Amino acid sequence: MLLVTGGAGFIGSNVVAALNDAGRSDVVVCDFLGNEGKWRNLAKRQLVDIVPPAELMDWLKGRKLDAVIHLGAISATTATDGDLVFETNFRLSTRLLDWCTAGAVPFIYASSAATYGDGETGFDDDASLPALKKLRPMNLYGWSKHMFDLAVAGRVANGDPLPPQWAGLKFFNVFGPNEYHKGSMMSVLARRFDDVKAGRVVQLFKSHREGIADGDQRRDFIYVDDVVRVVMWLLATPSVSGLFNVGTGKARSFRDLMLAAYAALGTRPNIEYIDMPEQIRGAYQYFTQSEVDRLHRAGYNGGFTTLEDAVKAYVGDYLDRPDRFR
> Cα angle vertex 298, ends 293, 304, to 5°?
55
Q: Please check if 187 is assigned to a binding site.
A: no
Q: Please check if 182 is assigned to a binding site.
A: yes
* 3-class secondary structure, 47: coil
Q: Count the neighbouring beta carbons within 10 Å of the beta carbon of residue 277.
A: 9
Q: Please check if 312 is assigned to a binding site.
A: no
Q: Please check if 212 is assigned to a binding site.
A: no
Burial of 246 (0-12, 13-18, 19+ CB in 10 A): buried
Q: Please check if 184 is assigned to a binding site.
A: yes
Taking Cα atoms as reference points, which of 163, 146, 156 lies closest to residue 105? 163
Q: Please check if 171 is assigned to a binding site.
A: no
Could you confirm whether 141 is annotated as catalytic?
A: yes
User: Do residues 257 and 205 touch, judged by C-beta distance below 8 A?
Assistant: no
User: Do residues 1 and 67 touch, judged by C-beta distance below 8 A?
Assistant: no
Q: Please check if 133 is assigned to a binding site.
A: no
Q: Please check if 10 is assigned to a binding site.
A: yes
**CA–CA distances in Å: residue 305 to residues 117, 177, 227:** 25, 15, 10
Instruction: Give the end-to-end CA distance of the chain in Å, rounded to a whole number.
Output: 22
Q: Please check if 319 is assigned to a binding site.
A: no
User: Do residues 118 and 285 touch, judged by C-beta distance below 8 A?
Assistant: yes
Residue 243: strand pairing partners: 168
Q: Please check if 25 is assigned to a binding site.
A: no
Output Rg (C-alpha) for the chain, integer angstroms.
19
Q: Please check if 206 is assigned to a binding site.
A: yes
User: Do residues 298 and 239 touch, judged by C-beta distance below 8 A?
Assistant: no
Q: Please check if 73 is assigned to a binding site.
A: yes
CA gap 243, 149 in Å, rounded: 8
User: Do residues 263 and 306 touch, judged by C-beta distance below 8 A?
Assistant: no
Annotated catalytic residue: which of 182, 197, 250, 312?
A: 182
Q: Please check if 74 is assigned to a binding site.
A: yes
Q: Please check if 173 is assigned to a binding site.
A: yes
Q: Please check if 172 is assigned to a binding site.
A: no
Annotated catalytic residue: which of 109, 116, 141, 223?
A: 141
Q: Which residues are annotated as a binding site for substrate?
A: 173, 184, 205-208, 219, 284
Q: Which residues are annotated as a binding site?
A: 10-11, 31-32, 38, 71-75, 145, 173-174, 182, 184, 205-208, 219, 284
Catalytic positions: 141, 182
Q: Which residues are annotated as a binding site for NADP(+)?
A: 10-11, 31-32, 38, 71-75, 145, 174, 182
